[in-house]
């Protein structure tokens, strides 16, 4: 079974394998097969999420026989659907409301918002992922509640944190495992202010491999293939 896109970091894959071996988690292939039958469609995307207690979940996108797209949140332990798109009532906000949110954020953090994208978190809650510019360790990202404009997981004051590895060192660390022509490399910061590198590699078959690499540990935390 081939997915058009799978957002399951290597660390999550290792944890899932251990969970399957111990009987704590259901195999992902089995979950995909069950969901495909249940919705009479084809799974085109799988993304790993974590619940409020750290439990592993999968956000799965299916296209049914009519071409309609469905998104469901599945518990990795039981394979049961815990939420689906129709249960997620909150929709994106209007232009005026978004402008108010951005003004509040820019005043609070003293930096300009350069990107805001509507998403769902691990509980299916509607959020905006907001990116700021002009940060010393790269761009900073925050998650904002769509309904209230409140910042989820506000960044803590800068603590003693190991500095990010250089871009050259990070690229060298990828060479035993990954190859391709470099399209883009960028140092960014996630919503918890952890620095990471975003890397795009052109593959020999014409596909594009996108990697996210922890800038401190050099662990590949996310990989995605686009055509």
Cα 59 from Cα 81, distance rounded (Å): 10
The first and second tokens of residue 31, run together, are 């979950």
How many residues make up the chain in this entry?
227
Determine contact, residues 98/116, Cβ cutoff 8 Å: yes
DSSP string computed for 21-63: HTTSS--HHHHHHHHHHHTTEEEEEEEEEE-TTS-EEEEEEEE
Rg for the chain, CA atoms, rounded: 19
Single pTM value for the model: 0.43
Determine contact, residues 212/221, Cβ cutoff 8 Å: yes
Q: Which of 132, 82, 74, 125 has its CA nearest to residue 104?
A: 132
> pLDDT tens string for the chain (227 positions)?
445 445 555 555 666 677 778 888 899 899 999 999 988 899 988 888 777 667 788 889 898 888 888 888 898 999 988 877 665 556 788 898 899 999 999 898 888 888 999 987 766 678 898 988 765 545 678 889 888 888 887 876 655 568 889 999 999 999 888 889 999 999 988 767 788 999 999 988 888 899 999 999 999 888 887 76
């Amino acid at each position: 079974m081939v997915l058009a896109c799978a957002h399951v970091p290597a660390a999550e894959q290792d944890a899932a394998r251990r969970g399957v071996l111990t009987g704590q988690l259901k195999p992902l292939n089995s979950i995909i097969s069950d969901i495909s039958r249940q919705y009479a469609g084809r799974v085109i995307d799988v993304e790993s999420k974590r619940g409020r207690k750290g439990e592993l979940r999968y956000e799965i996108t299916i296209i049914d026989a009519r071409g309609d797209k469905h998104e469901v949140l599945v518990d990795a332990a039981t394979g049961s659907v815990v939420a689906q798109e129709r249960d997620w009532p909150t929709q994106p906000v209007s232009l005026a409301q978004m402008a108010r949110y951005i003004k509040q954020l820019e005043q609070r953090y003293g930096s300009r918002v350069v990107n805001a994208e509507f998403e769902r978190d691990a509980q299916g809650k509607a959020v905006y992922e907001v990116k700021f510019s002009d940060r010393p360790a790269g761009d900073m990202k925050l998650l904002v509640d769509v309904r209230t404009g409140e910042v989820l997981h506000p960044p803590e004051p800068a603590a003693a944190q190991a500095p990010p590895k250089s871009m050259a060192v990070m690229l060298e660390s990828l060479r035993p495992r990954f190859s391709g022509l470099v399209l883009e490399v960028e140092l960014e910061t996630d919503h918890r202010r952890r620095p990471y590198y975003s890397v795009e590699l052109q593959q020999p078959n014409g596909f594009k491999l996108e990697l996210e690499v922890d800038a401190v540990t050099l662990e590949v935390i996310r990989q995605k293939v686009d055509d």
